[in-house]
A and B are shown apart, each in its own frame.
Chain A
Amino acid sequence: KSDGISKDEL
């Protein structure tokens, strides 16, 4: 997943 690591954003 290209996006998984940045799902820490609100």
Chain B
Amino acid sequence: MNVFRLAGDMTHLLSIVVLLLKIRTTKSCAGISLKTQELYVLVFLTRYLDLFTRYFSVYNVLMKLIFIGTSVAIFWYMRYHKVVKQTYSKDLDSFRHYHLILGCFLMALLIPFDFSVTEVLWTFSIYLEAVAILPQLVLLQKSRNIDNLTGNYVFLLGAYRALYLLNWIYRFFTEIHKIRWIPWISGLVQTALYADFFYYYIQSWRKHEELKLPA
């Protein structure tokens, strides 16, 4: 485990903590896309099927269980919690995420890492994660004001994949020495989707202004 990978995982974990903190303390999920959260549940469930077949480390098992558990918890809060669900910005969350699921699944069938059920699902989860943030970004663009916790949540989520890119570069030279097309290209796409958001996030931070994305 190198420092970029660990920093990436911790950033990912922190983004989830920030989101859960927002939901639990403010009892509000305003500005959060339920569609993106649904996609993450699907991403984790399809990627971590190897929990049953392969053991890497205690850290690995623990993190996988945390990601599955927290993503289901967030989904549950937004969908079923008596108070929280009333704050869901349903009308703004209009992205057709089923198209993403279908598109990624077809892509995974065409270009899987390997032709087996678990490997196709693993590839699907990589493709889907790359675009899962889209409904959230669209929702932010439609929101009048973006609260700090929501802004920080999305920033940390983007930073996580950017750190993974550094981790892959590091691992390529020190360890693996092989090109990993599927995660690399997907990871690049995933990070690139945040470019616009990063720009406005850093600007608002430097100017001490409220974060706002131009429509």
User: A residues engaging B (CB < 8 A)?
Assistant: 1-3, 5-10
Contact = CB atoms under 8 A, between A and B. Distances in A.
Contact of A10 (B64, B113, B114): B64
Nearest to A5: B176
B106 interface: no
Contacts, number: 32
B171 A2 contact: no
**Which of A1, A3, A6 gathers most chain B CB within 10 Å?**
A3
B70 to A, nearest CB: 13
Majority DSSP secondary structure for residues of A touching B = loop
B38 interface: no
Contact of A2 (B5, B60, B122, B179): B179
B54 interface: yes
Contacts of B171: 6
A7 to B, nearest CB: 7
A10 B171 CA distance: 15
A1 B176 CA distance: 12
Given A10-B12, A10-B67, A3 B180 contact: yes
Contacts of A6: 171, 176, 180, 183
Ordered nearest first, which 7 A-B pairs have the shortest CB separation?
A8-B56, A2-B178, A10-B63, A3-B180, A3-B113, A6-B176, A8-B60
A1 to B, nearest CB: 7
16 contacts: A1-B113, A2-B179, A3-B178, A3-B182, A5-B176, A6-B176, A6-B183, A7-B56, A7-B122, A8-B56, A9-B183, A10-B12, A10-B60, A10-B63, A10-B64, A10-B67
Given A9-B5, A10-B63, 11 more contacts: A1-B114, A3-B178, A3-B180, A6-B171, A6-B176, A7-B54, A7-B122, A9-B164, A9-B183, A10-B9, A10-B12
B57 interface: yes
B152 to A, nearest CB: 21
A3 B116 CA distance: 14
B165 to A, nearest CB: 12
B67 A2 contact: no
